[in-house]
Structure 1
Amino acid sequence: MTTATRSPSDVDEPPAARRSGRARRRSGRTDPAFYWMVVPAFVLFFVFHTIPVLQGVFYSLTDYAGYGDWRFVGLENYGYIFGDARIRDSYLFTFRFAVLSTVLTNVVALAIAVGLNARIRFRTTLRGIFFLPQVMSILVLGYIFNYLFSTTLPYLGQKLGSETFSTSILADEDLAWIAIVVFAVWQATAFAVILYLAGLQTIPTELYEAASIDGAGRWRQFRHITFPLIAAFFTINMVLSFKNFLQVFDHIIPLTAGGPGTSTESISMVIYRGGFQGGDFAYQTANAVLFFLVIVAFSLFQLRILRRREMEA
């Protein structure tokens, strides 16, 4: 006569618990405890994120100055935005800056990542060094770059006889944006390098060995093996970089503070200055809502285009 064997969990659990657990597994239902574990995070997110966002959308339909009384004005604020020259110029500057910085960041980061992924000495140490800009304060780094562009670069320009760089480019309306792009690309490259290195780790070395046997050089290997296989990481980096650069604020404050004049004023700076310092709270809230929709639209457009390219690759 044979006796059924029971697992240790069956011995430790009461019969009622075993029956209820088996019933849940048979019915495919999730234990309610898992839902209760999510409740605290959901409440915090709803209170500190969702409610303020909904309040912002509501205030964008009023003439609220951030204090005192207010009245409902509908879409009047949104109508004024499209005729505001300062906001239009800030959008143009921000998009030019974001497009150029995104391209440069990904080109530089991909080149560094491919180089660090090669069999070179001290590559682990070099990875840590390249990641340092990501963990340091942007404002601190910004003031360091401010000193470089205001003092060091003009000194070198005078020694080399360059009239353009003999004075601080931060005071030049036509050149100040270059300093912001250089600083932003240098700081953002660190995170992009880490993502590309993670993608390169997923490529089997056998593919490169087979390509080398077939006579493929490094450029052909990169074009036909490396880049297609890290297409998903390229998509992530492009979307994140463009989104972050559209929201540029910290990089501008220590370098130019939006100047000279308003030549390097980003959308985020206009929203901050007008909403919290200029008394146009509702007006700039409408600008923030519009800016949010623009970022979402461009992010979705990027994902659609880049994912299509992934499938074709």
Structure 2
Amino acid sequence: MRGTDASILALSGGVGGAKLCLGLADVLPPAALHIASNTADDFEHLGLTICPDIDTVLYTLAGVSNQRQGWGLEGESWQVLAALESLSADTWFRLGDRDLATHLWRTGQLAAGCSLSTLTAELARRLGVTARLYPMSDDRVSTVVHSDEGDLPFQHYFVRRQCQPRVGGFSFAGLAEARLQADIVALCRQQAVSGVIICPSNPFVSVAPILQLDGCWQLLRELRGPVLAVCPIVGGRAIKGPAAKMMAELALPVTALGVAEYYARHYPGLVDIFVIDHSDATLAADIQMLGMEVRVTATVMQTRADKQALAQDCLQQVLG
């Protein structure tokens, strides 16, 4: 794929999306990969602006992420967190010492008037990341989880409560007023990308905020190139995160077909190609009935080679 001049726009959440983004970055030419990152997970903690999905993608592409947990930095130390614990501070969201440097710098720069887009590009440059990473918006959007414990900010549900509350739905505070990041809009309106890849991220809380922002999914649907989505559910289970639990609690089938039906119902005509794992091959015919082409391949990414292979497969479907 390194000989192609095609450009790809990937939509990504955190760990699962970052894995495929790494594979895409490996097989595409430098600067041919554009990534729109979910920012509805962003929140304020200890007076700092935390951007979990942006940082997970950045650290993964830079080769400095914690390989075991998928987020944070490899070889991290925790002296500041230990000191905060001695002060009885809120330490439920674990921030390592070097990771704190990112948040301190970003928070200070935002207070000085810099945009999140500018700061994300600068972090990428300093980390040696050649893919172009954009926050989905420079405006604040926040995921609210409607649960049996009441409305919870996403990180309180996801990290503090470890996804234990039963969900009844989601909303995105600030979504109506927020605007899609300008470079993403320009890429689409200028038809500057050859196709779109929706990474295997949570469709409800990672992908939905991007697609529902400022007419984004309709803009993507009008592109000349195809839109491909990789299913995050494999064999009835989520590879990472609470997507399967959410689907069950929302009374949706916890299957690849259930995910395809969700995309078809909420974003009609958007997804042209739906990628599922070999273990879900028997669902291909039903998914095709939704008007999507189906690609059956290996979607579980355990090694760097797995990530590259899935990226190659996706690009072959998108670029023809």
Range into which the TM-score falls when normalised by the shorter chain: under 0.3
TM-score, normalised relative to structure 1 = 0.24
Bigger Rg over Cα = 1
Where relative contact order (Cα < 8 A, 6+ residues apart) is larger, the structure is 1
TM-score, normalised relative to structure 2 = 0.24
Q: Give the helix-richer structure, 1 or 2.
A: 1
Q: Give the strand-richer structure, 1 or 2.
A: 2
